[in-house]
Chains A and B, each alone.
Chain A
Amino acid sequence: MKAGTKLKSAVCDTEVMVIRGSDAIVECGGSPMDVERPAQRGTLNPTFSEGTKIGKRYVDAAGTVEFLCVKAGQGSLSIGGVALQVKDAKPLPSSD
C-alpha cells in the first residue's frame, strides 16, 4: 500500500491513512480494509472492537507499518489477526 492511501473499514466508520506501508492487509474490526467501503456493512468481530481514535497513529510490533486514523470507528486495527498498537502522542515542539 502506497503512503497516503486512505483505507476504509468494512464493518464500522473507521478510516485510516497509510503512513508507512507494506503488502500486509490491515484489518479493522476483524475484516480487511479497502479503499472503498463494501456495499453492505459486515459484522464487527468482538475481539477487535476496542475502537479507533482520530489522530492516533497505529503501528505493528516490529514498527514496519504505520497508519493514521483520520476517522474514528468501533473496530480496532490488526494485521493477520494481531492487534496494532497506538504510538505515543507527539512531543510538542520546543520552538514553534
Chain B
Amino acid sequence: MGSLRLVPILLLLASPALAQTYGVGRAPTAAELAASSITVKPDGEGLPPGHGTAAEGAKLFVEKGCSTCHGEAAVGGVTAAPNLKAPKGPEVSAWDRGAGSNGIPVKAPYATIAWDFIRRGMPLGNEGTLAPDEVYSLTAYLFAINKIIPEDQVLDQDNLAKVKMPIGNEWAPVPGASRDWKSGSPRLAGYPY
C-alpha cells in the first residue's frame, strides 16, 4: 500500500513536465550571461571589481557632465535634475534632509542602490558607459558630501554593501518584499477597502 502510494510521485518525477518541456530557445554562453548580468544585490553580490574615492569622483562629476544638470556642488537648481547634496545633515532623519526629488543617495536603504542607479541611469544620454572604477568614485563622492562616509574612504566591491546608510530601518518594505507574499494576500491586513 505504502509503495503503491509512491507510484504517482515517481511518475511525476520521471515525467518531462519537470524537465525542460519544449526545448525552445537556446542556452546562453558564459560570456552572454556575464554581459547581461547587471543586477547588484543589497549584500553586494554582482558588484564588479573596482574601487574609487570621493576626490576622484569630484573630478568625474565635472568631466562626465554630471554638474551640467545637478550643479557644480551637486546642489541642483540647474535643470529638473535633483539636488544630490542634502541641505541638512545627519542631525535630522534621512526623510527630513530635503534632498531633491528621489532622495538618492540619502534615502537609499542600501548603498548598492546608489551605485546601481549611477551605473544604469547616468550620465544622461550616455547611460551604461561609466567604468566600474568611475561608478565607485562617483558613489564615494555623493556619499562623502552627504557625510555618509569619510572623505578619504576608498569604496570597493568588498566594502560598498557595508556602508551604513542614514535611513537605517526607517523605511517600510512593500508587501511583496516578504517571502510569505501570495497572490491572494490582502493589500493591507484588516483593511476592508
Question: Do A and B interact with each other, yes or no?
Answer: no
List residues of chain A with CB under 8 Å of any chain B CB: none
